[in-house]
């Protein structure tokens, strides 16, 4: 019974870490795909903004015509705020 629980715990933590890695990669590819349609990907990559500034930038891109839904806005804002924060 003990070994059952340690295996169960392993499977659980493996699944959790896998989901975390997958979603980080997903966020990056979503960002690279959606944000290089009109200008180069270097345009956002060369910036550093607070989460609120990234949010208003991404929402402005949406009104510029970026094909992103509300979930994708949230994922991209999170990704940018984490990787390109204001110093």
Which of 65, 69, 70, 87 touches ligand HEC by CB under 6 A? Answer: 65
CA–CA dist 80, 59 (Å, integer): 13
Site for ligand HEC in 40-59 (CB under 6 A): 43-44, 47, 57-58
Cβ density class 13-45: b for 16+ within 10 Å, e for less: eeeeeeeeeeeeeebeebbeebbeeeeeeeebe
**CB nearer ligand HEC, residue 17 or residue 56:** 56
Give the number of other CB atoms < 10 A from CB of residue 65: 8
Binding of residue 60 to ligand HEC (CB under 6 A)? yes
**CB nearer ligand HEC, residue 23 or residue 36:** 36
| Site residues for ligand HEC per CB under 6 A | 34-35, 37-39, 43-44, 47, 57-58, 60-61, 64-66, 68, 76
């Amino acid at each position: 019974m003990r070994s059952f629980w340690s295996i169960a715990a392993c499977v659980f933590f493996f699944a959790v870490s896998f989901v975390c890695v997958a979603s980080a990669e997903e966020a990056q590819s979503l960002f690279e795909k959606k944000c290089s349609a009109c200008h180069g990907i270097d345009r956002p990559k060369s910036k550093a903004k607070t989460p609120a500034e990234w949010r208003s930038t991404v929402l402005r891109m949406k009104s510029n015509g970026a094909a992103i839904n509300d979930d994708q806005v949230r994922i991209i804002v999170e990704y940018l705020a984490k990787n390109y924060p204001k110093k």
